[in-house]
Structure 1
């Protein structure tokens, strides 16, 4: 048995079910990185991609060579947002802030239409040919008397006409993290570019000075108008204040009148407190006396006893009582000393009684006097409070007048100050910006950037080429490799037939290539297919194989002949040409036309021996298609055709049937149900996989069994170069010596089977 190619996947037999098994899992293809597929697509068409990129770069070079060079000049302007101010009036009227918003605002003013128009008029750009709008104002219709008359150009109209072109060439860009702005202008004339950039900066500075001067002048006028009204209000309020003072007789209400009334109230309040304390004390003593029982000893009362005279009298009484007590112990009551002592005692008691009565009367008088004094002070206090209330009401009205006078005076003083500051500020206007780096002539054009444009065109061409290559592969729905067969058709690959050269595409040469060139790559692929067929049914003593394809021209007839010849080397084999509409097997084997064959044998008009033709150079027997019947499909559907296959199976071990394509007629569907297996032939990079998958599904629905798929006219050299998965074709000894016969023409137009 011939050696199976190490690089060509094939089905092996499942001894239990006699079904082919994949050597390559179809999921392997899906698990591959798509980046690798993209890379292969790019490598496969790298010459076309590179060529397209070079052509696009050359076109870009031609374009940039004929383009007019554009020069750019740039002036750097410092916008002094944090500029020191001469007077604080600028905080109110100039609108200059120290934040980033102010800087961005000034940049936008630099770009404004007003600055651009003033610059155009200042430089009279319409006198320059590059900007003159009058060159394009005359149209063909106007020149022959039709259309509108050309306008009468004024400076304003010319400036408006130039503005759009001017603004496209002007670029104002702030410098990050600074107060600098770059003013750039593009022109074909480098001197004009520098002049315009400087002029735009100067016009911006002049415009700011003019605006601030006008603002100062407007503020000064407004202040003068306001001062007149404020002065009148101040005079009126001062007169009203003075009239009120004269009417109420107030000289210095707060410092004199109100202060005297306050002191009076404070003094009365102090004395009233003292009087109330005295009255309370006197009232206490009075109540003690008033509440004492009649004929009681009043000298024992605390209010009386506190009097020093009463105390002395009380002491004298005590001394007299002790003295009489001592004398009574020595002498009798009739003794002169006793009588004297008794007289002294009575005198002391009389004195004490008189003093007590005097103190009691004094306490009553003091209580009444204290109560009268308290009442008097309360009256004086109430009167003082009433006077203060009247003064407070007058002072409230006075305060209103004084506050109005003060407010008018402050407003008047403030406007006087602002007016003076505004007048001074009008004389000391300082620019908000200045040119720190004026524009100079540029010696190198900024446009076009020839090298950059050419490189971009080259890169763009390469990118478009890559996209086209990837898109082409994405849109390509043909079968390009064995992995495509397994993944897209979900069928095992039986063998891969290489692409033949132009010299070998003739049917008479390709039909006998297995006999004429047994060591060629094509012959090895046929042996691989033969081995796959034998392994697919080891236990089957006889095999009936159907070979078909989707459409004509995919090489099924050539494969059928060579597969039958290969089987004829080991087994008794019969090749049947079942394509009775367009028989091709007889032409390939150079069988004379008119030979009897399948149609005659099935119809019973010829014997088996008459319908069999031996193939020269091999033991293969051929049964041509025979006479073309009126309706070949009815012949194949007949019971006689089934009996014919059973009869032939008794005489041959292997029967190979070449049938019409599935997409044209239904002959292959009928025959597939009567065979052991069907071999489906597809043409690499030609047959859409959807069509092949549809044909296989139709065979299965017709109870046919697919043994495998044959990928015909496969460019091995191209696959080895771009995919790297088929390098084994040049190894194992059979590639050498035959590479010149087939390898040199792998990229040529394939022949048809």
Structure 2
């Protein structure tokens, strides 16, 4: 026997799978898991729908009513400037609407609604008296409640009433909804209650309380504003009278009628400023006159020094010079004419020359006299300039000394002017406030009052049933996936790969368990009635090469992880199939029975062993199967943990048989298979369909690998073909169900051939 196979471990590797393939495989497995658990999912969905229907019947009906208020906030969005030129304050309309919505949910407003509707008493005492009060008129019910409060005026009763009121307020706030629309000034007031009349009444009460509050606040605001303005007017009038009296006293004390305004355009000048301006103009004129006189004197002196005669413009104050100049001109002309007509020696020419000389002499005397006159005029001009300069300086000193008084007077006048303007503004504000209070439109009004709604707002049957359906579907799918995640045992060849096991040698359909001898007796008669089972067994033998006659004697160990896996049936069926194919088979059946007895030598093959009917006694004969039951025939002395007799027995049998099948003990319970696995050529592990857990299979394979035992393959037994087909997994068993007619025809052909041979 070759010991290499049991010294090597199977290196089981899965094929590489791409990420997309892995995702497709996970998705497909998920959908298949849902399909396999569809009955559980449908059951959970039906239970959820039933629970939703029951909840729908038990849930109280809630009715909703809505009142709509429209806000007029145009006069609030822009505040008036406090004074001319001051920037206006722009307010955001959406913020104002949100503020009003917050006021609608305020506790003061809720307290008013609770007191008006008497909700505190209804919430506190839902008894017959409270129910009776609801049917009474409002004023009668209020009188009855007031009488009850008077009968119990104790502090404890008052505290209890306050607690009831707070509870009613909290209940209203929990049921009240205030919604706004940022695109408009509409505010919706909704209220939910079990009574439609109560829902409409509370919504309208909240709207009415808010509108009354707006009216009262506007009236109180106008009254407060008017009272404040009246106080300011009275105080400002007193301040104005006081300032005016101070101005009068100051004028009497300083003799200043009006302060100067600096001479700016449009400003009045006082007397001192007017005098200053006049003196300044006169001084400027005097300086100009002096300068003219100085120039005229200089010019006259130059003309006279040169022997000339001043012009008429230079001697405007001496008309005699002008006359002499005219006479000189006439005399000079006459002299020239006479000289031309009479000659220079004529007596008349001499007389004319003497007259011209006389005129020139008088003109020279007058010119000298003009210089004296010009000097006198210059002296007078200088004196006038000096006088005006002194007067101007005196006036300036006086104005400088009076400047603080003017500033003080101007300050007093400015204060009086401002006080007067403020008084006028206050009077206008008072008039505007009175006008606004009288004719200003309401800041809010009720657009749509709430009306009782006969249709319940909740619960909505469709939504509840949809929620139940969705919840049941999710719960059912989750439960189905969780059940699929459980270790339900090995059900497909893919489960063997997930458990890290070797290849799947075959999947044997479910078969009623029977004794090995009974199976051997019925093998010739029942083989045609079990075509699928027989083909599955042949597939197992072919997978490990047991039908190959050229390989010599083969030692096969069939083991399992736990008892009841079906290895006895597999061993017996495999032995029958091999024997039917002409192989000499020895089957060592059963697990050892270890009893504390004296060891007994094993009997010879001819004693106590079972032989298949129809076989020959010769050990080399064909179609022979020998079955040895270890419980009855072998004792501890010939067992695997004894001496080498068991090994010797196997070596002796290998000379006479083609295949020796040994049924091993459960790996997780007995150590026989760990020892036998080193002696045999092939190790087959049997697992029970949907019963052997994948964890147990992995543990048993790991244990055998740790002890150097290599498992050649896994055989799945007792496969329920109908349930396996529901798994929608493509493996060997999938075709057993699909092609059952093929196996039926195969079984029929077998019967026909046997009948032909019998004939």
Q: TM-score w.r.t. structure 2 length? A: 0.70
* Offset, 1:535: 9.1
1:527 match: secondary structure: helix
Give the alignment of 1:152-171 within 5 angstroms.
Answer: 158-171=164-177
CA distance in 1, matches of 2:16, 2:295: 128
- Deviation per CA, 1:533-584: give whole Å up to 9, x if none: 129999954433322222222223322332333334253333334721499x
Is residue 2:44 matched to residue 1:48?
A: no
CA distance in 1, matches of 2:118, 2:227: 36
Residue aligning to 1:81: 72
Is residue 2:425 matched to residue 1:414?
A: yes
CA distance in 1, matches of 2:185, 2:391: 78
Residue aligning to 1:61: 53
* Offset, 1:202: 1.5
CA contact 2:560–2:667 (8 Å) conserved in 1: yes
Counterpart among 567, 592, 617 of residue 580 in structure 1: 592
Residue aligning to 2:750: none
Is residue 2:57 matched to residue 1:70?
A: no
CA contact 1:719–1:725 (8 Å) conserved in 2: no
CA contact 2:225–2:433 (8 Å) conserved in 1: yes
* Offset, 1:201: 1.7
Q: 1:51 to 1:307 in 2, by over 3 A?
A: same
* Offset, 1:66: 4.5
Give the alignment of 1:307-706 within 5 angstroms.
Answer: 382-427=393-438, 431-476=442-487, 478-489=489-500, 491-498=502-509, 500=510, 504-506=512-514, 516-517=526-527, 519-534=530-545, 541-568=552-579, 569=581, 571-577=583-589, 579-581=591-593, 605-607=602-604, 610=607, 613-616=610-613, 619-625=624-630, 626-629=633-636, 634-635=641-642, 639-706=644-711
- Deviation per CA, 1:170-218: give whole Å up to 9, x if none: 3333356332233333334333333332222212212222233333333
- Deviation per CA, 1:320-351: give whole Å up to 9, x if none: xxxxxxxxxxxxxxxxxxxxxxxxxxx9xx99
CA contact 1:126–1:133 (8 Å) conserved in 2: no
CA distance in 2, matches of 1:614, 1:370: 177
- Deviation per CA, 1:53-75: give whole Å up to 9, x if none: 22332233234335443333x24
CA contact 2:66–2:191 (8 Å) conserved in 1: no
Give the alignment of 1:88-107 within 5 angstroms.
Answer: 99-107=93-101
Counterpart among 221, 232, 238 of residue 232 in structure 1: 238
1:251 match: secondary structure: coil
* Offset, 1:482: 1.4
Is residue 2:201 matched to residue 1:210?
A: no
Give the alignment of 1:246-325 within 5 angstroms.
Answer: 246-254=252-260, 258=269, 261-262=272-273
CA distance in 2, matches of 1:633, 1:185: 87
2:744 match: secondary structure: coil
CA contact 2:558–2:664 (8 Å) conserved in 1: yes
CA contact 1:269–1:381 (8 Å) conserved in 2: yes
* Offset, 1:261: 4.9
CA distance in 2, matches of 1:199, 1:127: 17
Q: 1:688 to 1:562 in 2, by over 3 A?
A: same
2:545 match: secondary structure: helix
- Deviation per CA, 1:718-739: give whole Å up to 9, x if none: 3333425354223456655399
- Deviation per CA, 1:12-51: give whole Å up to 9, x if none: xx9xx99798897788984534332222222112222212
2:686 match: secondary structure: strand
CA distance in 2, matches of 1:453, 1:278: 116
Q: 1:739 to 1:505 in 2, by over 3 A?
A: farther
Q: 1:181 to 1:521 in 2, by over 3 A?
A: farther
CA contact 1:258–1:391 (8 Å) conserved in 2: no
Residue aligning to 2:228: 222
Give the RMSD, CA atoms, in angstroms: 5.6
Alignment: residue pair count: 667
CA distance in 2, matches of 1:31, 1:520: 39
- Deviation per CA, 1:611-663: give whole Å up to 9, x if none: 8543457633333323342896633xx55544544444444333332212222
Residue aligning to 1:142: none
Q: 1:475 to 1:721 in 2, by over 3 A?
A: closer
- Deviation per CA, 1:379-406: give whole Å up to 9, x if none: 6665554444445433322232223223
- Deviation per CA, 1:127-165: give whole Å up to 9, x if none: 76x87456899xxxxxxxxxx999479875653343333
Q: 1:277 to 1:432 in 2, by over 3 A?
A: closer
Counterpart among 103, 115, 123 of residue 109 in structure 2: 115
CA contact 1:81–1:96 (8 Å) conserved in 2: no
Counterpart among 192, 195, 207 of residue 186 in structure 1: 192
* Offset, 1:524: 2.1
Q: 1:151 to 1:262 in 2, by over 3 A?
A: closer
Residue aligning to 2:147: none
Is residue 2:742 matched to residue 1:723?
A: no
CA contact 2:296–2:314 (8 Å) conserved in 1: no
1:405 match: secondary structure: helix
1:254 match: secondary structure: coil
CA contact 1:494–1:709 (8 Å) conserved in 2: yes
CA distance in 1, matches of 2:518, 2:290: 155
* Offset, 1:104: 1.9
* Offset, 1:369: 9.0
CA distance in 2, matches of 1:466, 1:132: 48
1:706 match: secondary structure: coil
Q: 1:400 to 1:152 in 2, by over 3 A?
A: closer
Q: 1:564 to 1:549 in 2, by over 3 A?
A: same
* Offset, 1:441: 3.0
Which structure 2 residue ranges, 5 or more long, are not aligned?
A: 84-88, 131-153, 262-266, 300-304, 308-312, 316-320, 329-357, 615-622, 748-759
CA contact 1:550–1:662 (8 Å) conserved in 2: yes
CA distance in 2, matches of 1:408, 1:267: 36
CA distance in 2, matches of 1:539, 1:136: 106
CA contact 1:573–1:653 (8 Å) conserved in 2: yes
CA contact 1:81–1:103 (8 Å) conserved in 2: no
1:394 match: secondary structure: helix
CA distance in 1, matches of 2:81, 2:164: 37
